[in-house]
Structure 1
Amino acid sequence: MGTYTITTLGAATELLTLPLDQPLAEWTDPRIVQVPRGISRHVVRFVRAQNQIFAFKEATERYVIREHHLLRALADASVPVVDAFGTVTERTDTSGEVLGSLLITRHLPYSLPYRALFTERSLPDLRARLLDALAQLFVRLHLAGFFWGDCSLSNTLFRRDAGSLAAYLVDAETGEMHEQLTIGQRTHDITIATENIAGELMDLQAGGYLSEDADPIEMAIALQPRYEKLWTELTDDQVYSASESYKIEERVRRLNSLGFDVSEIGIRSEDAGRTLRFETHIVEPGHHARRVYALTGLQVQENQAKGMLSDLARFRAKWIEGVGHDIPEDLAARRWLDEKFYGVLSMVPAELRKKLPDAELFHEIGEHRWLMSERLGRDVGRPAAVEDYVRTVLAKLPDASVRILTEPTTEELPVVAE
């Protein structure tokens, strides 16, 4: 029997029965499953254990420990990344030969690699939404002081988020954490990403998954202006006339609409008190998602949260109109959760509920109801909308929570010597 040291962030008794003293490429354990994934330079295996899916990646001990620490640091900074669960180090096989170490991460439920986005049920204007999601991810990484160094579509996973996409960092092995990034570091990171993304889009086009009239280079170059616009909105100081102090509130609302909180506002007078400078410090993503969690206890994506808050506001307004007096928001949220949110979801057959996260399912049913009503020129009502959505859309979708495949979708590239 070989040797190893396993360190995890929670109980992992079932993982101890895996062949941890064997090279990862040689594992034949029946718990190994195939899920949609991107291309990797390293050997990666997915294992179903403890009622969830874990990803195992083999690399040198130095890189495994470093990447584990980086992923944990990014998660602590509220950056969307895969969950680093543990490491297996000091591995040797039965003959005493040293093996590479293993990084263990939890598989991200309902996530898809970029290739699956182009080959399965597509979003409207998918290319723009993909770049918007990447721009938002880059801004969050850079605000946290993280230099990615090797961004690519293959190193990212995507979740559907109320008609948009949310991007998650998967591979952090080339990254560096700094107290603050320079302009040069940020620009270099985006340049690397642009080059890698252009190449991956060319591969998609060669495989027939991207239309011939699309320009992969032009698409990739469009990442930088999206990133710069969002970065400027979040970080630049703005000077207002003293008579325009109302614009401070407008700026805060714009930042909130982008999904960020403003944790500190610095205002200092200039030119003998005639101007004010607005400085935003330490912006944190997830403003609407945190608001939904505080009101309902639901953990959802940011765009899903925006839609839910809007729906809650309409629900509360109708209630207030009906009773003729104000209703506290927390009381309205509890009633909305029971009557509207779970009321809609309860109409979906139980065996189909798992195909989409609850918040995304609620959003899609609402969109479907609106489209049906628009087409027929009248409100079709909740039961009819749910029945039609389940029959025409949901029943035809695969189970997206964890997509188990019968054959691998990609092959690992040869392992690169570190």
Structure 2
Amino acid sequence: MRFQLTARTGHPDFLDLPWNEPLAEWTSPRLVEMPMGIHRHVVRTVRYDDRLYHLKELPRRFADREWRFLRHLRAEGVPVVDVVGVVSRREALDGSPLEAVLITEHLEFSVPYRLLFLRQEHQRIREPMIDALVHLLVRIHLQGFLWGDCSLSNTLFRRDAGRLSAYVVDTETGELYQDLSAGQRRMDVELAIEKCGGELMDLQAAGVLSTAIDPFDLGLELEERYHALWAELTRDELFSDDERYRIADRLRRINELGYDVEELELVQDHHRSDLTRMVLKTSVLEPGRYRRLLRQLTGLDVQEHQARRLLNDMHNFGAWLQAEEGHSLPESLIAHRWMQQSFEPIVALVPEDLHGKREPAELFHEVIDHWHHLSELKGADAGLFDAARSYVETVLRFEPEERRVSPAEADDELVDLVPDALVAFDEEADEV
């Protein structure tokens, strides 16, 4: 058996897989069934201990490009799947050449868009999905990457403190440039509108979305928000000498959006000497400013909105702790006590059989929301730990598995949820 494996360390060697056979013909005991989006290539999934890996068979030039692009985007802080290796120069037993295989690790707690629409009504999932796609497109465009294949099938979604984060899955049609022109970016957005609209039409044909809903409304809103976000992050801005406060305001807004300013240049305007032009070069640093701070304080590596929510709770805990002890405490000590007395005990309350429903940071966020809700109903503090126990028994226990979703579970949900989903969509159709 002849092949060439290029792989990163920290993963299996994959040498026990039948590389001398086409992927579609594999019968390896390591194969597992996983829900997949629409792919132009054969994709299979294998298990090594508790880790899952997706294998995609494609021509070597595309496999090498995707290996390079995914690694580059990840290094630049763009949310992408973790690419592990490329197997090339494969030969069948009769000596005939076989296509290369790209190996990526499964992104845990990611949910395919089809299941998101099944599990949540259209109005509830519309806003976070558009925001997630817009930020993803902007982030890759800031890196000079032309995706060329932005679609719901080529994107994975993870819950992020009540919102969604989008991850790039497929980059084989992409191109990397120093910078993208306005025309290139516009073409990428228009392709995204076309592909996403087509996928939502497929959901309509399957009975998941009501026919009263226009699938391309989502795409048009994506385009509008994309241009607004791009302008906020990159446009030049003129201000007079008595308006310098606008510099701080602009930088604050950019930071709140999860971006950092890599370079700021102030130059006198060519047309009016009393005006100054602010020229920005915006970059994306991974992890984001909240992620970096939370990781420094606690060692937790979570998503940006989750980090912001956890830091807010930590600050509230710190204020209570300092009031209790009657003196100020260093932030590092507050973080340590918060982990010991709040975050870790709350996560530990979840029974082992429910661990696959939410990752710890998202679980803690939902417990905090549940606590606030119960306290409002009671008119007094319901108690964080009592609220956590209530959340586990009345909410989490009835949530579907999300760490890894099997095709059988997806099919069952399609049968069970479509009637209810259609009712919800029809009731809200006039509002769309």
Residue 267 of structure 1 aligns to a residue in which SS?
strand
Structure 1 residues 235 and 17, CA, compared in 2 at 3 Å: closer, same or farther? same
Match of 2:342 among 340, 343, 347: 340
CA distance in 1, matches of 2:232, 2:259: 11
1:282 partner amino acid:
T
CA distance in 1, matches of 2:316, 2:399: 30
Q: Which residue of 1 aligns with 2:279?
A: 279
Question: Structure 1 residue 50: deviation in Å?
Answer: 4.6
Residue 97 of structure 2 aligns to a residue in which SS?
coil
Q: Which residue of 2 aligns with 1:20?
A: 19
Q: Which moved more, 1:278-287 or 1:367-376?
A: 278-287
Structure 1 residues 162 and 244, CA, compared in 2 at 3 Å: closer, same or farther? same
Give unpaired runs (5+ residues) of structure 2.
412-432
Question: Structure 1 residue 387: deviation in Å?
Answer: 1.4
Q: Which residue of 2 aligns with 1:373?
A: 375
Question: Structure 1 residue 189: deviation in Å?
Answer: 0.4
CA distance in 1, matches of 2:324, 2:272: 52
Question: Structure 1 residue 248: deviation in Å?
Answer: 1.9
8 Å Cα contact 1:142/1:186 also seen in 2: yes
8 Å Cα contact 1:84/1:105 also seen in 2: yes
Residue 310 of structure 2 aligns to a residue in which SS?
helix
Structure 1 residues 329 and 52, CA, compared in 2 at 3 Å: closer, same or farther? same
Q: Which residue of 1 aligns with 2:5?
A: 6
Question: Structure 1 residue 354: deviation in Å?
Answer: 3.7
Question: Structure 1 residue 394: deviation in Å?
Answer: 1.3
Residue 95 of structure 1 aligns to a residue in which SS?
coil
2:52 partner amino acid:
I
Question: Structure 1 residue 324: deviation in Å?
Answer: 4.5
Q: Which residue of 2 aligns with 1:155?
A: 154
Where does 1:161-240 land on structure 2 (aligned, <5 Å)? 161-240=160-239
1:337 partner amino acid:
M
CA distance in 1, matches of 2:214, 2:169: 26
Question: Structure 1 residue 310: deviation in Å?
Answer: 1.4
Q: Which residue of 1 aligns with 2:387?
A: 385
8 Å Cα contact 2:79/2:166 also seen in 1: yes
Match of 1:355 among 344, 354, 357: 357
The Cα RMSD (Å) is: 2.0
Question: Structure 1 residue 330: deviation in Å?
Answer: 2.3
Question: Structure 1 residue 308: deviation in Å?
Answer: 1.2
Residue 83 of structure 2 aligns to a residue in which SS?
strand
Q: Which moved more, 1:189-198 or 1:372-381?
A: 372-381
Structure 1 residues 388 and 12, CA, compared in 2 at 3 Å: closer, same or farther? closer
Where does 1:406-417 land on structure 2 (aligned, <5 Å)? 406=408
Structure 1 residues 85 and 123, CA, compared in 2 at 3 Å: closer, same or farther? farther
CA distance in 2, matches of 1:37, 1:263: 37
Q: Which residue of 2 aligns with 1:321?
A: 323
Structure 1 residues 219 and 344, CA, compared in 2 at 3 Å: closer, same or farther? same
TM-score by length of 2: 0.89
What is the aligned length? 408
1:313 partner amino acid:
H
Deviations 1:220-255 (A, max 9, x none): 211101111111111112222222222222222211
Question: Structure 1 residue 292: deviation in Å?
Answer: 1.2
Question: Structure 1 residue 107: deviation in Å?
Answer: 0.9
TM-score by length of 1: 0.92
Question: Structure 1 residue 344: deviation in Å?
Answer: 1.7
Residue 98 of structure 2 aligns to a residue in which SS?
coil
Question: Structure 1 residue 295: deviation in Å?
Answer: 1.7
Question: Structure 1 residue 139: deviation in Å?
Answer: 0.2
Residue 290 of structure 2 aligns to a residue in which SS?
helix
Structure 1 residues 374 and 408, CA, compared in 2 at 3 Å: closer, same or farther? closer
CA distance in 2, matches of 1:219, 1:298: 34
Q: Which residue of 2 aligns with 1:105?
A: 104
Deviations 1:12-48 (A, max 9, x none): 5551101111100001112111122211110000000
2:300 partner amino acid:
L
8 Å Cα contact 1:156/1:169 also seen in 2: yes
Residue 16 of structure 1 aligns to a residue in which SS?
coil
Deviations 1:120-157 (A, max 9, x none): 35696201211110000000010010001121111111
8 Å Cα contact 2:356/2:404 also seen in 1: no
Q: Which residue of 2 aligns with 1:70?
A: 69
Question: Structure 1 residue 378: deviation in Å?
Answer: 2.5
Give unpaired runs (5+ residues) of structure 1.
410-418
Q: Which residue of 1 aligns with 2:83?
A: 84
Q: Which residue of 2 aligns with 1:48?
A: 47
CA distance in 1, matches of 2:407, 2:150: 26
Question: Structure 1 residue 349: deviation in Å?
Answer: 2.2
Deviations 1:356-387 (A, max 9, x none): 11100000111111122223332211122111
CA distance in 2, matches of 1:74, 1:183: 20
8 Å Cα contact 2:12/2:48 also seen in 1: no
8 Å Cα contact 1:34/1:408 also seen in 2: no
Is the aligned partner of 1:306 residue 2:308?
yes
8 Å Cα contact 2:259/2:282 also seen in 1: no
Is the aligned partner of 1:252 residue 2:251?
yes
Query: Percent of pairs identical after alignment?
Result: 44
Question: Structure 1 residue 401: deviation in Å?
Answer: 1.7
Deviations 1:180-212 (A, max 9, x none): 000000000000110111111111122121233
